[in-house]
Structure 1
Amino acid sequence: MPMKTYGYIRVSSTDQNEDRQRIALSTKEVPLRNIYMDKQSGKDFERPQYQRMVKKLKPGDLLYILSIDRLGRNYKEIQEQWRILTKIKNVDICVIDMPLLDTRTAKDLMGTFIADLVLQILSFVAENERVNIKKRQEQGIAAAKARGVRFGRPEKPVPEDFEQIVIQWQDKALDISQVLELCDMSAATFYKRLREYRIANGTKRESGQL
């Protein structure tokens, strides 16, 4: 059976552009039907398209990736996946941005040693960059929160007649479903706003009072 050529593309999120990787694979004449892409973090290899591709790979096939961090960003798992692909699946791998990581040309002892060394270094760099990116994100979020920036969905404001609605509810003039409809809130949000309202107004729940 003739050797097949495959390509793998990974971007970390749906809004990232994969064009650079596609262009690089097109220069290697990888058939479009053999290109697999995940829009997912490189922290592990639980990616649907990657797993699907691995099942398709046969001994003697060739896999192209643009750079080692497109394969993943976890040092140990990159090493393990490389071993699975090259030793168990008997697939050749070519990292386009790093010619030393081309298993077709690293068959002798010295070539294998150099390729393994380069792989370890680049795998470390890939994971270290992931850690640094996460750290920068956490620092950025902390700084934004310190400036008063709020994250997540905006809180539902209470209606102007919230107090009257609550009084009617406590007097049993309204049931909870009517209250939620009037306030346009879920039950959890309503009770949260009710607690906040009582605290803000220094009131306690008593008969006929907030």
Structure 2
Amino acid sequence: MAEYGYIRVSSRDQNEERQLIAMRELKIPGTHIFTDKQSGKDFDRPQYRRLVRRLKKDDILYIKSIDRLGRNYKEILEQWRVLTKEREVDIVVLDMPLLDTRRGKDLMGTFLSDIVLQVLSFVVENERANIRQRQAEGIAAAKARGVRFGRPPRPLPENFREVHRQWRNKKITLRQAAEACGMPEGTFYAKAAKFEDTTQ
């Protein structure tokens, strides 16, 4: 029997230290701790795949919380089934003592563990959906207030007014006007239309 730890953070900017401390307190060797720095939307993660290949029957896998395993309800349940039923590995979720497959190996223990897992997995995915909805609502509200997203528009070059006048009077072509202002033709045309709107 060997003990392993799995750590996941959503991006390279997030810190895995809290999860790492929990694994060290369990005296899990560094070579048995696998860390992925990517989204939990699916299980196509290189370190997780390496970990699963190493797990043997009766090994123990520790994770800090169920959302570190993943965020997709169906896939969490499927991975849990693969690990506990097919690979016959025990899983311990440190933040949720009820999710410890070493306890209650009888039918009732397994039943309770499965119910808790299904409820928690649903809560994780539901919260993810709620976060996406709140983000969309926040963006819509900000746009309604006039908040602009993306890079601010670059100021017009100093010669734009004069070049625009020459182009409008057909003294130069669109290509010549765009080159004179150091921008693509499409950009010059769009900026010319906006410029005309503001000067009328």
Classify 1:186/1:5 alpha carbon distance in 2 versus 1 (closer, same or farther; 3 Å).
Answer: farther
Partner residue, 1:133: 131
Tell me the residue number matched to 2:172: 171
2:82 to 84, 100, 114: 84
- Identity of paired residues, percent? 59
Q: In the TM superposition, what whole-angstrom CA distance separates every residue of 1:55-96 from its partner, at most 9, and x where no partner exists?
A: 332333221101111111221111011111112222221101
Which shows bigger deviation, 34-43 or 81-90? 34-43
Asked if the contact 2:163/2:177 (under 8 Å) is kept, the reply is no
> 1:171, CA displacement in angstroms?
2.0
Shift of 1:103: 1.5
Counterpart in the other structure of 1:10 = 8
**In the alignment, residue 193 of structure 1 is paired with which amino acid?**
K
> Is 1:124 aligned to residue 119 of structure 2?
no
Matches within 5 A, 1:25-64: 25-64=23-62
Per-residue deviation, residues 162-197 of structure 1 (Å, max 9, x unmatched): 233454797259758844xx53x4565444324433
**Which residue does 2:144 correspond to in 1?**
146
Aligned partners of 1:157 and 1:37: how far apart in 2? 45
Structure 2 unpaired stretches of 5+? none
1:60-71 equivalences under 5 Å are 60-71=58-69
Q: How high is the TM-score relative to the length of structure 1?
A: 0.79
Q: Among 96, 99, 102, which residue is 1:98 paired with? A: 96
Corresponding residue SS for 2:39: coil
The equivalences for 1:178-189 within 5 A come to 178-179=179-180, 182-183=181-182, 185=183, 189=187
Which shifted more, 126-135 or 83-92?
Answer: 83-92
**Aligned position for 1:206:** none
Distance 1:108 1:170 in 2: 89
- Structure 1: tracts of 5 or more residues without a match: 203-210
C-alpha distance in 2, partners of 1:101/1:120?
Answer: 11
Aligned length: 197
- Pair 1:90–1:194, CA change in 2 (3 A): farther
Q: Secondary structure in 2 aligned to 1:77? A: helix
Tell me the TM-score normalized by structure 2.
0.83
Q: For residues 190 and 54 of structure 1, what CA distance do their matches in structure 2 show?
A: 56
Q: Report the 3-state secondary structure (helix = DSSP H, G, I; strand = E; otherwise coil) of the residue aligned with 2:147.
A: coil
Looking at structure 1, the residues matched to 102 and 8 of structure 2 have their Cα atoms a distance apart, in angstroms, of 23
What is residue 193 of structure 1 aligned with on the other side?
A: 191
Tell me how far apart the structure 2 counterparts of residues 188 and 55 of structure 1 sit (CA, whole Å): 53
Partner of 1:207: none
SS in 2 for 1:107: coil
Q: Structure 2 CA distance, aligned partners of 1:131 and 1:49?
A: 26
Q: Which moved more, 1:135-144 or 1:66-75?
A: 135-144
In the TM superposition, what is the alpha-carbon distance from 1:148 to its structure 2 partner? 1.9
